[in-house]
Structure 1
Amino acid sequence: MSGASRGQEPARVRLRASPAFKIAVSLSIATGLYGVSFGALSVASGFDFWQTMALSLLLFSGGSQFAFIGVVAGGGSGVAAMTASALLGLRNGIYGMQINALLRPGGLKRYAAAHVTIDESTATASGQTDPDEQRRGFWTAGIGIFILWNIFTAVGALAGDAMGDPKRWGLDGAAVAAFLGLLWPRLRGREPWAIAAACALATVLAVPFVPSGVPILVAAVVAAVIGWYSHARLDEGLEPDVDPYAGVDSERKIGGTE
């Protein structure tokens, strides 16, 4: 065996034995495949192929992307769409502070880490206690999802173009449905349900009186006010949407080994 081969073998062994790497790869595949849905729905909402790709390449935040195209599909203005998207993206800023303290990336890595700080990469990193596993899980999930999400966004966008009129397939309302599907798992406990009900009521009351796209902003203000005065636990609602360690026994999770 050559010296180069001997140097590469330990790295391959470490990856095969790494729980963070395995989980990150599985999350990358599952999440990346969902990019097909975004690509098709974006085209159905009136965006062309390159606009759709720009959203996935530059925005790269699933919930924010669906919110953006959902507002536009409903007839909202660009300002309303950007505001709704930004409000949902605030959680990534909170994740970023956590990742910065956890991994302490330096130089250009800070910018790369900021771009791939999403629910899945944050969950994979924070689920480990070993620093090497934290880094391995974060970068594998972040880069893996970024690559696959964009590949399958392109597939979905091209497929959406080939389908023709979106109303024939019921896709004209699918962007909103997909966004609600992303929101549903976050409604845990009584307080999130109460806030969701209050926001839904505010939206229904606002629809007849304000332009398209504005009701979602009204709902966001209602949610912010309720959250501010409810004295909710600081960690409630801020955890990543994905818990990659669900079902893993406590000894494996604490030790970071299999």
Structure 2
Amino acid sequence: MRRAPLAAATLEAMGYTDVRVLDGGVNRWTSDGYPNEWGVNVPSKDFGERMQVEHSIPELHPEELQARVQQGEKIVILDSRTPQEHRRSCIPGARSAPGGELVLRLSSLVPEPDATVVVHCAGRTRSIIGARILQRLGYSKVYDLKNGTMGWNMAGLELEEGSNRLELPAPTPEGLQQAEAFAAQIAQEDGVQYLAIDALNALIARSDRENVYLIDVRTEEEYARGHIPGFQWSPGGQVV
């Protein structure tokens, strides 16, 4: 119990004005019957698990994916992690498709809307999010790979190392139109707000005295070619 008051006092000394301490801490929370979460990267994993359950995103076990591929079924396997992770090791035959680039380049990555698509990551959070994006785009045969490369290893299957399937296809005119329409739809459905340039400049001007987080979600190459001053690079698929 001592750590919480000390942390609160520190935050108040830093200028935070609405700081509170949970009465009784996590022990009181638990004894009153409220649920706990535990582990590493809990907020993002909790978000992914809720998305998986709420939207009924189907998943394939590694052994099932392996069997279907060996039987000759045509399956598109997309790796939603970073290119660096993909090169290190991936599910055999997977193509690098970082999560933040899926919508923009999907018509080139998966040209057939009725294709069977499996999205994988290292565990499951990023693949769940990627699969949900495909669902919202209207793809019907989409799966996330249960436990990703970790689950593949645990099933006694070999990962592919040193993949060179890293280059992202350029967006097609049709794909770009589809991506823009989808982005507008998501913005409307989820209440995403747009910021005018003048308002952004005003935020940047106040960032020395307010908490303002400026994140550029494009690819590393795009960021290196030029970005708005003050923005930090964090590729879209990694933000969550």
Q: TM-score, normalised by structure 2?
A: 0.21
Kindly indicate whether structure 1 or structure 2 has the higher relative contact order, using CA contacts under 8 Å at least 6 residues apart. Answer: 1
**Structure with greater proportional helix content:** 1
| Length-normalised TM-score, structure 1 | 0.20
Structure of larger gyration radius: 2
